Amino acid sequence: MSVIYDRVALIGLGLIAGSMAHAMREAGLAREITGYARSAATRETAREIGLCDMVCDSAAEAVAGADLVVLAVPVGVMGTVAAEIAPHLAAGATVTDVGSVKQAVIAAVQPHIPAGVHFVPGHPLAGTEHSGPRSGFASLFRNRWWLLTPLPDSDAGAVDRLGRLITAMGAKMDRMEPAHHDLVLAVTSHAPHLIAYTMVGVADHLSRVADEEVIQYSAAGFRDFTRIAASDPTMWRDVFLHNKEATLDILGRFTEELFMLQRAIRMGDGPQLYDYFTRTRAIRRGII
């Protein structure tokens, strides 16, 4: 595989940035990788494990001379970080982000991007419940979608080059309009996370079932909920605060359907339950 960027700066050194560093190194996609995270302890760990060629003590130092800058911080601080690095970006550089929400991140970052620097927002649909500099691994993106949500004036060459990096890391690249991205992700990721948090919360509040019983007798469904509900609280707080409209829309529809099923159970309406589950099974079989 050949070098795609000379110098890549990773801002935020957690699961996603760490996985990018491993994947880029494994395939030789960047000549040099610099990194910065706000917490001194994270920077120290990143140095210890040799995550980047150089871990810098300021974002300004990390982005100096970089031809690709990746914002891999929680959605709620993307704008602050963009403002911090803006005066230090090299002319012709590309800035991308990996935030799980697109419209709010674009609104926060775009105003800080100087003329002559390209902003290409993106979102890898890959993750685990782990976070921090030790959690990344090279194969995280393999065969997973990585959505780019370019702006109408995004430079075509910058989008293509970033797309080449994404596919060289093993991901499948697609483009989507930012508002549509936020709605699709509210259905496929954000609302399901909230439901998982709620299920685990419910189990915790049930005084008639002991915690040990929940763990000991937990069936696959509940185990999956606990894994999802173990995801990083900062990241998920920010996702819900910044994809408010779409998440509330989907949760409203979810609540209506849940009430409908609740009523069917109460009324002993077997045919309605059967029809509903037959429909959902057909959807699953249609997508797999």
Region 190-219 residues binding ligand NAD, contact defined as CB under 6 A: none
N-terminal to C-terminal alpha carbon distance within the chain:
31
Query: Does residue number 73 form part of the binding site for ligand NAD (CB under 6 A)?
Result: yes
Query: Does residue number 75 form part of the binding site for ligand NAD (CB under 6 A)?
Result: yes
Region 222-261 residues binding ligand NAD, contact defined as CB under 6 A: 232, 235
Distance of alpha carbon 135 from alpha carbon 116, whole angstroms:
34
Q: Which of 5, 7, 14, 148 binds ligand NAD (CB under 6 A)?
A: 14
Tell me, residue by residue from 140 to 179, as one string, x for binding to ligand NAD by CB under 6 A and - for no binding. ----------------------------------------
Nearer to ligand NAD, 5 or 240 (CB): 240
Q: How far is the CB of 269 from ligand NAD (least distance, A)?
A: 38
Nearer to ligand NAD, 53 or 269 (CB): 53
Q: How far is the CB of 49 from ligand NAD (least distance, A)?
A: 13
Q: Which of 68, 81, 89, 106 binds ligand NAD (CB under 6 A)?
A: 81
Sole window of 98-106, 210-218, 222-230, 241-249 interacting with ligand NAD (rule: CB under 6 A): 98-106
Nearer to ligand NAD, 124 or 170 (CB): 124
What 3-state class would DSSP assign to 218? Answer: coil
User: In this structure, what are the phi and psi dihedrals at residue 98, rounded to the nearest 5 degrees?
Assistant: -120, 20
Beta bridge partners of 33: 8
Q: Which of 127, 150, 163, 178 binds ligand NAD (CB under 6 A)?
A: 127
User: In this structure, what are the phi and psi dihedrals at residue 127, rounded to the nearest 5 degrees?
Assistant: -175, 175
Number of residues that bind ligand NAD (CB under 6 A): 28
Per the listing, tokens 């005084």 go with 207
Q: How far is the CB of 47 from ligand NAD (least distance, A)?
A: 13
Sole window of 6-14, 154-162, 215-223, 270-278 interacting with ligand NAD (rule: CB under 6 A): 6-14
Amino acid residing at 161: R
What 3-state class would DSSP assign to 54? Answer: strand
Cβ–Cβ under 8 Å, residues 222 and 199: yes
Cβ–Cβ under 8 Å, residues 106 and 78: no
What residue ranges in the chain does DSSP mark as E strands?
5-11, 30-36, 54-55, 68-71, 94-97, 118-124, 145-148, 172-175
CA 283 → CA 192, 195, 232, 279, 288, distances in Å?
Answer: 16, 20, 30, 6, 9
User: In this structure, what are the phi and psi dihedrals at residue 180, rounded to the nearest 5 degrees?
Assistant: -65, -40
Q: Which of 79, 121, 122, 124 binds ligand NAD (CB under 6 A)?
A: 124
Radius of gyration of the chain (CA): 21
Nearer to ligand NAD, 19 or 94 (CB): 19
Q: How far is the CB of 135 from ligand NAD (least distance, A)?
A: 6
Contact footprint for ligand NAD (CB under 6 A): 11-17, 37-39, 42, 72-75, 77, 80-81, 98-100, 123-124, 127, 131-132, 232, 235
